């Protein structure tokens, strides 16, 4: 097996190329690297009754959110919401950790303990 000898100049060139790659990655706007938000019209969202605004839940179709107990259910107090209680959006494991609205809701809601 032939070994490749890299002189100092070649080594420095490699470093510049690698550094350029890091610079290129850091130039990607942060919002493009962020996770995307779940939308209400997606198949899984529709099946789960996910809505961005929990108060718009169709409680005939999803009676779990009906009544006083149901009215207190929001993504931001669900055990599967992995954000702060006042987060506008945070990842939800039901949706492969894509972002759901803090004031949203779906039929998989589980009380935080
Ligand atoms: S599982 Fe919980 S956090 Fe996720 S969408 Fe449903 S109610 Fe919101």
Second CATH level (architecture) for the domain 8-101: Irregular (4.10)
Cβ neighbours of 22 (radius 10 Å): 9
Q: Are 104 and 62 in contact (CB under 8 A)?
A: no
From first to last of the 113 residues of the chain, give the pLDDT tens digit.
Answer: 555 555 655 544 555 455 554 445 455 454 444 579 999 999 999 999 999 999 999 999 999 999 999 999 999 999 999 999 899 999 999 999 999 999 999 999 999 98
The whole-angstrom separation of Cα 40 and Cα 101 is 11
The whole-angstrom separation of Cα 86 and Cα 54 is 15
- Taking CA atoms only, the protein residue closest to ligand 1 atom 2 is 109
Q: Are 82 and 33 in contact (CB under 8 A)?
A: no
Best substitution site from 57, 108, 113 to test ligand 1's pocket, by max atoms within 8 Å of Cβ?
108
- Taking CA atoms only, the protein residue closest to ligand 1 atom 6 is 106
What is the model's pTM? 0.72
Domain positions in the chain: 8-101
Best substitution site from 72, 97, 104 to test ligand 1's pocket, by max atoms within 8 Å of Cβ?
104
- Taking CA atoms only, the protein residue closest to ligand 1 atom 8 is 75
């Amino acid at each position: 097996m032939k070994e490749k000898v890299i002189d100092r100049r070649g080594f420095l060139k490699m470093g510049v190329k690698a550094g350029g790659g890091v610079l290129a990655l850091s130039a990607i706007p942060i919002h493009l690297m962020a996770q995307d938000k779940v939308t209400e019209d997606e198949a899984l969202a529709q099946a789960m009754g996910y809505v961005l605004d929990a108060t718009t839940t169709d409680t005939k179709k999803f009676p779990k959110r009906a009544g006083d107990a149901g009215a207190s259910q929001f993504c931001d107090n669900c055990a599967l919401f992995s954000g702060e209680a006042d987060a506008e959006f945070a990842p939800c494991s039901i949706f492969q950790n894509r972002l759901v609205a803090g004031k949203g809701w779906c039929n998989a809601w589980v009380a935080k303990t």
